[in-house]
């Protein structure tokens, strides 16, 4: 990764992705220690700025920062002066004035994290902006696939060529899908989007993907089935006549799970709506990597923060010396 910020998977390129995944291995090792913490970012402050609801992403970034011994500042739009009419720019400049090294930004509008870079000298990480991108989700997804491949076939490897990955659901409104399509195809995977026409982007020009509305036709050929939530807050629900019908045509039902290839993996970024995109019991099958994705999110976000803030001379992962 070259720049100071992480706004898009495109900022990383294939090499950058591989570098982050390797670094995440070190943080996985740290997580297994009795005190799962290293001093790498002692003295640095990481602020999480979430202007939109989140459970896992915010907690994941905060856990990642704490494992690096950074101080964490947490901002939540619903309890802030934004409610009193303060502008986004004034909010950012206020937080910047307190002296922060990184701002982790989530916002319902695409492009906000990029705007924020003009108003602060901190590193900015996009934690999900509108329908645009969610780069750390894509990184943790790649990490999880690489880990699972490693377990079934030896050493973890980041060459995904030959893998066919189906992304199923509300692709149109999904920043996760955009970042995942970029990252997975950079690593060599073939991506198939599976959705009703209304939930695909209006144009797929420039997307390195195939698309179909027939899940059953591709199901048996997929190595990974990646399910997406219907983005009700982004009009996804309005484009669907009926959720039961959606489940019948595009849901990963128990019957469909039974027709998956033997080693196929099931993934979902969460929050998962059981009974819509995935049958309740399918989410808990051994093939489902959902909780692993969450666990790996902490390792990958530690790697991103380390990479952006520790500098080239940063010691990778020394032992914590006890007083942190
Ligand atoms: C996703 C998001 O917010 O973009 N969730 C997440 O970060 N794990 C997906 C979603 O909300 O459906």
Residue with tokens 């199923």: 168
Q: Given ligand 1 and candidates 106, 127, 128, which is best to mutate, with the most ligand atoms within 8 Å of its CB?
A: 128
CA 273 to chain centre: 17
Q: Cβ(47)–Cβ(75) under 8 Å?
A: yes
Ligand 1 binding pocket includes 56 (Cβ within 6 Å): yes
Q: What is the pLDDT of residue 3?
A: 82
Residues 280 and 163 in one domain: yes
User: Can you tell me which atom of ligand 1 is nearest the CA of 174?
Assistant: 4
305 CB-near residues (< 8 Å, 6+ apart): 41, 46, 61, 64, 65, 68, 70, 102, 125
pLDDT tops 60 at residue 284: yes
In a domain, 149, yes or no: yes
Catalytic residue among 57, 91, 117, 158: 57
In a domain, 258, yes or no: yes
Q: Residue 161's domain is classified under what CATH number?
A: 3.40.50.1370
Residues 111 and 147 in one domain: no
In tens, the pLDDT along 149-173 reads: 998 776 678 999 999 999 999 999 9
Instruction: Answer yes or no: 84 catalytic.
Output: yes
In a domain, 253, yes or no: yes
In tens, the pLDDT along 292-323 reads: 999 999 999 999 999 999 976 555 555 555 44
Q: Cβ(9)–Cβ(17) under 8 Å?
A: yes
246 vs 84, residue with greater confidence: 246
Q: What is the pLDDT of residue 128?
A: 98
In a domain, 318, yes or no: no
Q: What is the pLDDT of residue 129?
A: 97
In tens, the pLDDT along 22-36 reads: 999 999 999 999 999
The candidate with the shortest Cα–Cα distance to 12, out of 256, 307, 209, 316, is: 307
Instruction: Answer yes or no: 44 catalytic.
Output: no
The tally of domains found in the chain comes to: 2
Q: What is the pLDDT of residue 322?
A: 47
Residues 54 and 185 in one domain: no
Residue 67: cis peptide before it, omega within 30 degrees of 0: no
Residues 47 and 80 in one domain: yes
Q: What is the pLDDT of residue 82?
A: 72
Q: What is the pLDDT of residue 75?
A: 87
Residues 218 and 273 in one domain: yes
Residues 267 and 184 in one domain: yes
Residues 243 and 209 in one domain: yes
Coil, helix or strand at residue 3: coil
In a domain, 99, yes or no: yes
Q: What is the pLDDT of residue 324?
A: 39
**Host domain of residue 217:** 135-292
Ligand 1 binding pocket includes 57 (Cβ within 6 Å): yes
Residues 209 and 229 in one domain: yes
Query: Model's pTM, two decimal places?
Result: 0.94
Mean pLDDT of the chain: 93
**What is the band of 114 on the pLDDT scale with cuts at 50, 70, 90?**
very high
Residues 96 and 147 in one domain: no
In a domain, 118, yes or no: yes
192, 196, 197, 200: CA torsion to nearest 10: -50
Angle, helix 56-67 to helix 290-309, in steps of 10 degrees? 50
Helix boundaries (H) for the chain: 13-31, 56-67, 88-97, 112-116, 135-153, 175-186, 215-218, 243-250, 254-258, 290-309
Residues 194 and 54 in one domain: no
In Å, the largest CA–CA distance within the chain is: 58
Instruction: Answer yes or no: 155 catalytic.
Output: no
User: Can you tell me which atom of ligand 1 is nearest the CA of 231?
Assistant: 12
Query: Could you write out the DSSP letters of every residue in 188-241?
Result: T-EEEEE--GGGS-S--TT--EEEES-HHHHGGG-SEEEE----GGGTGGGG-S
In a domain, 120, yes or no: yes
In a domain, 314, yes or no: no
pLDDT tops 90 at residue 233: no
Residues 280 and 219 in one domain: yes
Residues 246 and 172 in one domain: yes
Q: What is the pLDDT of residue 316?
A: 57
- The Cα 306–Cα 315 span in angstroms is 10
């Amino acid at each position: 990764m070259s720049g100071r910020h992480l706004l898009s998977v495109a900022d990383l390129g294939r090499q950058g992705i591989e570098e982050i995944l390797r670094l995440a291995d070190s943080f996985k090792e740290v997580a297994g220690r009795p005190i799962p913490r290293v001093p790498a970012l002692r003295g640095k402050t990481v602020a999480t700025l979430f202007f939109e609801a989140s459970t896992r992403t915010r907690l994941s970034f905060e856990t990642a920062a704490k494992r690096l011994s950074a101080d964490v500042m947490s901002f939540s739009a619903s309890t802030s002066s934004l409610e009193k009419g303060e502008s986004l720019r004034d909010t950012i400049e206020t937080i910047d004035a307190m002296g922060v090294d990184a701002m982790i930004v989530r916002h319902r509008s695409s492009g906000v994290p990029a705007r924020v870079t003009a108003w602060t000298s901190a590193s900015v990480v996009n934690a999900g902006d509108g329908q645009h991108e969610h780069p750390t989700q894509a990184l943790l997804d790649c990490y999880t696939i690489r880990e699972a491949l490693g377990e079934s076939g030896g050493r973890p490897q980041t060459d995904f060529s030959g893998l066919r990955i189906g992304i199923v659901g509300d692709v149109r409104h999904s920043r996760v899908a955009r970042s995942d399509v970029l990252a997975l195809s950079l690593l060599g995977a073939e991506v198939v989007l599976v959705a009703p026409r209304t939930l695909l982007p209006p144009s797929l020009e420039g997307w390195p993907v195939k698309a179909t509305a027939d899940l059953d036709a591709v199901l048996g050929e997929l190595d990974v089935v990646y399910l997406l939530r219907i983005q009700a807050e982004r009009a996804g629900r309005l484009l669907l006549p009926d959720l039961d019908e959606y489940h019948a045509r595009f849901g990963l039902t128990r019957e469909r799970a039974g027709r998956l290839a033997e080693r196929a993996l099931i993934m979902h970024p969460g929050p998962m709506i059981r009974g819509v995109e995935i049958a309740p019991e399918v989410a808990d099958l051994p093939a489902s990597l959902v909780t692993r994705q969450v666990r790996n999110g902490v390792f990958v976000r530690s790697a991103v923060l380390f990479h952006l803030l520790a500098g080239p001379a940063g010691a990778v992962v020394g032992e914590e010396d006890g007083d942190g």
